[in-house]
């Protein structure tokens, strides 16, 4: 099973020509089917860039990304990606149902098939009955659930999430963490999840990839051996704290090579 990774990242380097910034350097990472991998690190460590390179929204300067044995470009053409951003990025002019249907329309699904799937997705994210609402009528947490439903509606091989809960309050965030895990387990999808929050990364993931800035590199990988399904109690498990500490140590160790103010911003960002 793990012989054929869903994502294979080989020697990926990304240099932004403007300012000659090396956002990513020699990134190597394999992601197995059904994994939930978090990318964590301070601002400027390239975690969002890496996510976009995987999704073929940014081209790497060097190296290659393979998704299900195909190039990232081919994977994108084959609709292998579902993406969720920090903002829900909903279309104001569409109802909730029609927002979820956008990728299905692009795939050329029939009206009936779309309607059926949209209803299933609404149920999955517990928004049944809100299909005819407009995005502005929903709370931030509900909007993000619509966005997740849209990303999953066409069963993409890979779900890419860029700080999806970063703009939400702590309570909503923890609830959506649980919901996301339950969806992930139901669908068996593979997830790459960018976050600023150590506890969120440990709580959700099968593996936490810790990144460091300038140039963006992988500082270390922490496998998370907490059992699924994870619940509210998981957050109080001593092992949970050990793993959180392990991730924090990795972030801090990289901080030794930084200027004091950079370290401060790094740790602040990582909290």
Partner 1 sequence: MSVGTAGDKLVEWLPAIAVFVLGIALWEGAISAFHIQQFLLPRPTQIASTFWTGRHQLWPAGWYTFKEALGGFLVGSALGVLVATFVARFEALGTALIPVAVAASAIPIIAFAPIFNAWLNPLSPTSKMAIAAVLCFLPVLVNTLRGLQSASPRQIELMRSYAASEREIWRRVRVPTALPYLFTALKVASVLAMIGAIVGEYFGGAFTALGVLIRSDAQILDFTHAWAGILVASLLGLSLYFGVVIVERMVIRWAPESRGS
Contact footprint for partner 1 (CB under 8 A): 55-57, 76-79, 81-83, 85, 87, 89, 91-94, 102-103, 105-106, 134, 136-137, 160
Which is nearer to partner 1, 39 or 202 (by Cβ)? Answer: 39
Q: Rounded to 5 degrees, what are φ and ψ at 235?
A: -65, -15
Please tell me the distance from the alpha carbon of residue 220 to that of residue 218, in angstroms, as a whole number. 6
- Closest contact distance (angstroms) between CB of 151 and partner 1 is 9
136, 88 contact by CB (below 8 A)? no
Q: Pick between residue 77 and residue 186 the one whose CB is nearest to partner 1.
A: 77
Cα(122)–Cα(210) distance, integer angstroms: 33
Reference 81, options 162, 196, 166, 176; nearest CA is 162
**Minimum distance of partner 1 from residue 214's CB (angstroms):** 25
- On the CB side of 177, CA atoms within 13 Å amount to 26
Provide, rounded to whole angstroms, the least separation between the CB of residue 190 and partner 1: 15
Convert 116-134 to b/e letters by CB count within 10 Å (16 or more is b): ebbeebbebbebeebbeeb
Which of 57, 258 has the CB closer to partner 1? 57
Beta bridge partners of 209: 39, 221
Nearer to partner 1, 124 or 158 (CB): 158
* Tokens at 214, concatenated: 């300038």
Six token digits for residue 151? 């990303």
As measured in angstroms, the least distance from the Cβ of 111 to partner 1 is 16
Q: Is the peptide bond before 255 cis (omega within 30 degrees of 0)?
A: no
| Least distance (Å) between residue 133 CB and partner 1 | 9
Q: In what order do the strands lie in the sheet with 62-67?
A: 21-31, 7-16, 62-67, 70-71
Q: Which is nearer to partner 1, 92 or 170 (CB)?
A: 92
Q: Considering the complex, what minimum distance in angstroms separates the CB of residue 89 from partner 1?
A: 5
Distance of CA 240 to the CA centre of its chain: 20
CB of 80 to partner 1, least distance (A): 9
Of 269, 90, 263, residue with least CA distance to 196? 269
Q: How many residues does the chain have?
A: 271
Judged by beta carbon, residue 101 or residue 247, the one nearer partner 1 is: 101
Q: CB nearer to partner 1: give 137 or 186.
A: 137
């Amino acid at each position: 099973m793990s012989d054929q990774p869903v994502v294979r990242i080989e020697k990926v380097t990304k240099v932004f020509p403007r300012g000659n910034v090396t956002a990513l350097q020699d990134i190597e990472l394999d992601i197995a089917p059904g994994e939930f991998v978090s990318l964590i690190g301070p601002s400027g460590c390239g975690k969002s860039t890496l996510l976009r390179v995987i999704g073929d929204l940014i081209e790497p300067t060097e190296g290659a990304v393979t998704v299900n044995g195909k190039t990232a470009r081919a994977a994108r053409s084959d609709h292998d990606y579902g993406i969720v951003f920090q903002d829900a990025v909903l279309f104001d002019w569409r109802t909730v149902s029609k927002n979820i249907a956008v990728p299905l329309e692009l795939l050329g699904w029939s009206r009936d098939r779309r309607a059926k799937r949209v209803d299933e997705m609404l149920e999955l994210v517990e928004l049944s009955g809100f299909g005819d609402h407009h995005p502005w009528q929903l709370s931030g947490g509900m909007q993000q659930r619509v966005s997740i439903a849209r990303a999953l509606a066409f069963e993409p091989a890979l779900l890419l999430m860029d700080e999806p809960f970063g703009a939400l309050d702590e309570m909503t965030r923890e609830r959506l963490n649980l919901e996301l895990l339950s969806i992930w387990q139901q669908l068996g999808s593979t997830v790459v999840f960018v976050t600023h929050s150590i506890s969120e990364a440990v709580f959700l993931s099968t593996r936490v990839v810790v990144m460091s800035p300038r140039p963006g590199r992988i500082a270390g990988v922490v496998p998370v051996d907490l059992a699924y399904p994870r619940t509210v109690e998981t957050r109080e498990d001593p092992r949970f704290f050990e793993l959180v500490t392990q991730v924090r140590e990795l972030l801090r160790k990289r901080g030794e090579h930084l200027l004091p103010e950079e370290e401060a911003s790094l740790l602040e960002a990582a909290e």
